[in-house]
Structure 1
Amino acid sequence: MSNLDIDFTRRNRKPRPLSDAEKNKLDEFIDNIHYSSRYNDDEYEYRHVQLPKQMLKAIPKEYFDGSRGTLKLLWEDEWRALGITQSLGWEHYEVHEPEPHILLFKRPINYQAPIQH
């Protein structure tokens, strides 16, 4: 699998799990997460996920890039822990800086999940 041109320096070194208390704080926002339709170019399909703005205040500070004032690029374990649900293969590759509650995702067109044996 390619790294999809993701700047891994903008991620935590390894996924930072949420505590139960942190998860509980985020639960109230999950029903208000908005998923865009998918769109694509020749290589990738894309979608953006819009978090409720108030949700950003409940996300642990370790998920933020202090120099940018936005979320870091999240590992799959991290964005799933926030309550984002989507099929396999999506990578968080960018944050829309003017609107830091919008996370941009992409995956290769015709992505096939690895077969589990």
Structure 2
Amino acid sequence: MADLDYSRRNKVPRPLSDSEKARLEEFIDSIHYSARYNDNEYEYRHVQLPKNMLKVIPKEYQDPSKGTLKLLWEEEWRALGITQSLGWEHYEVHEPEPHILLFKRPINYVPPGQ
């Protein structure tokens, strides 16, 4: 997945504090997951966060130059309450709608050790 712009990501995953997690909890049940769609190489889905959730996501997850979230490490998006199976990578934020995160993973992905 060398096409990702890793400069748009924190250098290392930034864990959430307990108080940050507590502020995000009220939004978790309102996260919407699209159906999966694919091309020849990847399957995709988009995850729509409640717009008000963006206001409580830590500044270190945000990209002020774009007005969106940064590309999030798996540890980071899972900490926000996004739940999906293994192998998904956050590869883009839809700038006109910064609460929509785009994910992809290789078609026929098999988790390590299976």
Q: State the TM-score, normalizing by the size of structure 2.
A: 0.98
Amino acid at match of 1:114: P
1:13 is aligned to 2:11? yes
How far 1:13 moved relative to its partner?
0.3
Give the Cα separation in 1 of the matches to 2:44 and 2:73.
Answer: 17
| Consecutive unaligned residues in structure 1, runs of 5 or more | none
Corresponding pairs, count: 114
Amino acid at match of 1:15: P
Q: How does 1:1-117 map onto structure 2 within 5 Å?
A: 3-115=1-113
SS in 1 for 2:20: helix
SS in 2 for 1:37: coil
State the Cα deviation string for residues 70-110 of structure 1 (Å, max 9, x = none).
00000000000000000000000000000000000000000
SS in 1 for 2:101: strand
SS in 2 for 1:9: helix
Give the Cα separation in 2 of the matches to 1:96 and 1:67.
Answer: 14
Give the Cα separation in 2 of the matches to 1:67 and 1:8.
Answer: 15
Give the Cα separation in 1 of the matches to 2:42 and 2:101.
Answer: 16
Amino acid at match of 2:98: P
| Consecutive unaligned residues in structure 2, runs of 5 or more | none
Identity percentage over the alignment? 80
Give the Cα separation in 2 of the matches to 1:5 and 1:105.
Answer: 13
How far 1:4 moved relative to its partner?
5.0
> Following superposition, which runs of at least 4 residues in structure 1 exceed 4 angstroms of deviation?
none
